[in-house]
């Protein structure tokens, strides 16, 4: 069953988005989830398996912060490996996005020369 | 879905995971509910935004299994990791299953052969000199030692191969699970 391309794309870049968020500031899961759910409309529950995966990969580490109200909160911060992953994936994403962008722009703007040759080819 | 319902379904889904790890996961989601309620959202809203607890539990369990495998590489953690990853139900993995089974069979056969060779080596070394093997006692002892060394080498190579295989399966499953089964769409289940 084909899945909407939107979901596939989002799932693919979710990790990159989290890395980017954490690069700016350490944060806790609820905050990350609400930022991402606002920005790219993802299910909030996904954040926990994702954070665990990133912990397994050694991209993030956790520490506890006392909170004035209620129990202490688990914060996530990027490790050096996480920073490198952000650099690599960010570069890859930009290259990919640019390539797709170029293709879409190409499709939008008719190029007269190409159209001519295509018509010529079709007529023969 | 109420908070209690969500948490009990999640808890049920996490059965089989080490207790401390499961407790940590449950804590995360309890904290999520706390934060959501503090923001003025209703339990039902938070639960709906979180998604399907059964599916989340499967993903969390697979992740925990993989993590354990990375920490301690032994038959039990390998089995746990592979089972958890299969539990994700990525179609590719199910198709791969027969192939995987035959590879596992070959590896088990290899171990049996190594064990047999080792035992043969022991017998040759012990019984050879007594039974008067051709070439004299010394030759029998050396041949027995040689067989034992060869079988140990074989078993070691097989172990390396097995670890490599489990890593491969885990890597493949994660890669495909991420693409095949997006848990992104908010589900009200």
Mean pLDDT per 10-residue section of chain B, whose length is 189 residues: 93 88 91 91 91 86 82 80 72 71 89 92 83 76 88 91 85 63 43
Domain of A48, CATH number, reads 1.10.10.10
Answer yes or no: do B176 and B98 share one domain.
yes
Answer yes or no: do B40 and B102 share one domain.
no
Answer yes or no: do B97 and B169 share one domain.
yes
For B62-78, what is the HEC assignment? HHHHHHHHHHCCCHHHH
CB B48 within 8 A of CB B1: yes
Answer yes or no: do B36 and B106 share one domain.
no
Answer yes or no: do B65 and B127 share one domain.
no
Whether residue A100 is contained in a domain is answered as: yes
CB B75 within 8 A of CB B158: no
Q: How far is B126 from B103, CA to CA, in rounded Å?
A: 35
Q: Which residues of A touch B183 (CB under 8 A)?
A: 11, 43, 45-46, 49
Q: How far is A51 from B165, CA to CA, in rounded Å?
A: 26
Can you give the pLDDT at residue A5? 67
Can you give the pLDDT at residue B186? 42
Domain count, chain B: 2
Tokens of B30: 């309890």
Which of A17-21, A55-59, B123-127, B129-133 has maximum average pLDDT?
Answer: A17-21
Q: How far is B137 from B74, CA to CA, in rounded Å?
A: 39
Answer yes or no: do B171 and B98 share one domain.
yes
Whether residue A87 is contained in a domain is answered as: yes
Among residues B90, B22, B35, which one has the least CA distance to residue A35? Answer: B35
CB A44 within 8 A of CB A12: no
Answer yes or no: do B58 and B100 share one domain.
no
Q: Considering only the beta carbons, identify the residue of B31, B51, B63 that sits closest to A45.
A: B51
Whether residue A121 is contained in a domain is answered as: no
Among residues B92, B103, B73, B97, which one has the least CA distance to residue B167? Answer: B73
Answer yes or no: do B171 and B95 share one domain.
yes
Can you give the pLDDT at residue A75? 93
Whether residue A124 is contained in a domain is answered as: no
Whether residue B164 is contained in a domain is answered as: yes
Answer yes or no: do B64 and B28 share one domain.
yes
The residue range of the domain holding B34 is 3-72
- Name the residue of chain A whose CA is nearest to B64's CA: A52
What is the least distance, in Å, from the CA of B75 to any CA of chain A? Answer: 20
pTM confidence score:
0.66
In three-state secondary structure terms, A77 is: strand
Can you give the pLDDT at residue A81? 95
**DSSP assignment, residue A65?**
E
* Burial tier of B189 (Cβ tally within 10 Å: 0-12, 13-18, 19+): exposed
Whether residue B80 is contained in a domain is answered as: no
The residue range of the domain holding A98 is 5-116
Answer yes or no: do B68 and B101 share one domain.
no
Whether residue B84 is contained in a domain is answered as: no
Q: Which residue has the tokens 């172990």?
A: B159
Please indicate whether, in this complex, the C-beta atoms of A33 and B32 are within 8 angstroms of each other.
yes
The secondary structure element, H or E, covering residue A26 is none
pLDDT tens-place string over residues A88-116: 999 999 999 999 999 999 888 776 655 45
Whether residue B155 is contained in a domain is answered as: yes
Give start and end residues of each alpha helix (H) in A1-124. 5-24, 29-40, 47-56, 80-108, 112-123
Whether residue A123 is contained in a domain is answered as: no
Domain count, chain A: 1
Whether residue B44 is contained in a domain is answered as: yes
Q: Which residues of B touch A45 (CB under 8 A)?
A: 29, 49-53, 56, 183
CB B47 within 8 A of CB B2: yes
Q: How far is B134 from B132, CA to CA, in rounded Å?
A: 7
- Name the residue of chain A whose CA is nearest to B45's CA: A44
Q: At which of B39, B72, B105 does a domain end?
A: B72
CB A52 within 8 A of CB B67: yes
- How many C-beta atoms lie closer than 10 Å to residue B78's C-beta? 21
Whether residue B31 is contained in a domain is answered as: yes
């Amino acid at each position: 069953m084909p899945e909407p391309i939107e979901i596939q794309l989002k799932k693919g870049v979710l990790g990159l988005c989290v890395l980017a968020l954490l690069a700016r500031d350490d944060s806790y899961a609820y905050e990350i989830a609400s930022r991402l759910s606002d920005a790219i409309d993802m299910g909030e529950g996904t954040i926990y398996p994702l954070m665990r995966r990133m912990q397994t990969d050694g991209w993030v580490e956790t520490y506890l912060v006392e909170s004035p109200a209620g129990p202490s909160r688990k914060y996530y911060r990027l490790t050096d490996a996480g920073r490198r992953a952000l650099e690599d994936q960010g570069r890859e994403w930009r290259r990919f996005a640019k390539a797709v962008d170029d293709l879409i722009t190409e499709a939008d703007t008719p190029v007269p020369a190409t159209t001519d040759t295509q018509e010529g080819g079709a007529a023969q | 879905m109420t908070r209690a319902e969500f948490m009990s379904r999640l808890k049920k889904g996490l059965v089989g995971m080490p207790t401390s790890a499961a407790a940590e996961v449950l804590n995360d989601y309890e904290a999520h509910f706390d934060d959501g309620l503090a923001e003025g959202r209703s339990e039902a809203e938070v639960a709906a935004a979180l998604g399907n607890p059964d599916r989340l539990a499967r993903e969390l369990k697979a992740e925990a299994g993989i993590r354990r495998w990375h920490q301690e590489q032994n038959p039990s953690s390998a089995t746990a990791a592979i089972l958890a990853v299969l539990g994700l139900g990525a179609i590719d993995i199910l198709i791969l299953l027969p192939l995987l089974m035959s590879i596992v069979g070959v590896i088990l056969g290899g171990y049996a052969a190594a064990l047999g060779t080792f035992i043969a080596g022991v017998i040759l070394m012990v019984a050879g000199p007594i039974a008067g093997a051709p070439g004299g006692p010394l030759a029998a002892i050396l041949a027995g030692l040689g067989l034992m060394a060869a079988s140990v080498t074989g078993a070691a190579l097989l172990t390396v191969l097995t670890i490599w295989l489990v890593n491969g399966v885990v890597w493949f499953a994660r890669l495909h699970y991420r693409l095949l089964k997006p848990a992104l769409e908010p589900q009200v289940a």
